[in-house]
Homo-oligomer: A and B are copies of this chain.
Amino acid sequence: MSIERIAIIGLGLIGGSIGLALREMLPDIATTGWDADRDVRRKAAERGLVGKVSDSADDAVRDAQLVILCVPVGAMGAAAQSIAGALPPGAIVSDVGSSKHSVAQAIAKALPDAVVVPAHPVAGTEKSGPEAGFPELFRHRWCILTPEDATPAEAVEQVAAVWQGLGAKVEIMEPAHHDLVLAVTSHIPHLIAYTIVGTASDLEDVTRGEVIKYSAGGFRDFTRIAASDPTMWRDVFLTNRDAVLEVLGRFTEDLTALQRAIRNGDGDTLFELFERTRTIRRSIIEEGQDDARPDFGRSDH
């Protein structure tokens, strides 16, 4: 049996992109959707993000075989609670949260009898809201599923099949390991980017205008990441606290060592690191996870 009816709760960048991708790549699946924000529902209907935008969470999920919660991770418990009354028995509940351990707990608490297959598509842009989604967002990106051992294999396979249908590659992982891996590849990079953009805007001796004018020296890349949705990211740091603090501790140690090397004029230590980090870039391009054009083709050459 494959999934024929999907409900999407939360119609921002990720929920909207799932809806558009389903319509384009798996058009036989019927979609319903709901968002707590009336204005988002209206825009979602205008853009046709799902087949039917419902007036309540209950209505959206009443006939669904798979419900995907696409809300900030801090709102997952409430979103799960909002569908508890109408969720059909046997329906699978999934999500798209960037931290998995705490989200799985929140969903299980609100829906103790549901079949839950937590998911995290590692894809996104700095934009958010119902206007931001597009169907190709998940293509060639990884989607990590973190089911419990007791979760029926068939449910995991059905969720995996949907993501593969949207162009994603699927990986199964332990929730705690997911949270550590993503702390490294996503959460700490965002935290650092937010911090340096904040630091730059607070300096007394350098004006905001100067920061903006000369941002092409590297800073602008950080501002892109630091333009990501504030609510989503606040929740990520609050729900993945332990892994974030662990990796942040390592980062701070390493930064302190470089600070010392700069203070002591130790060029060899700097050069050794700068040389080593190049090879990771090469692998990311080879794996198709980034664009090899210099400067992302910004200079249009």
Contact = CB atoms under 8 A, between A and B. Distances in A.
A195 interface: yes
Contact of A221 (B198, B221, B252, B283): B221
Interface string A181-210: 110111111111111111111110110101
Contacts of A291: 296, 298
A267 interface: yes
A59 interface: no
A191 B126 CA distance: 23
Copies, count: 2
A231 B125 contact: no
Interface string A168-185: 000100000100111011
Interface of A: 74, 98, 122-127, 132, 134-137, 139, 141-142, 144, 171, 177, 180-182, 184-203, 205-206, 208, 210-228, 230-231, 233-235, 237-238, 241, 244-245, 247-248, 250-252, 254-255, 258-259, 262-263, 265, 267, 270-271, 273-278, 280-284, 287, 289-291, 294-301
10 contacts: A182-B217, A191-B258, A199-B251, A212-B287, A213-B287, A220-B284, A228-B274, A230-B271, A252-B252, A290-B298
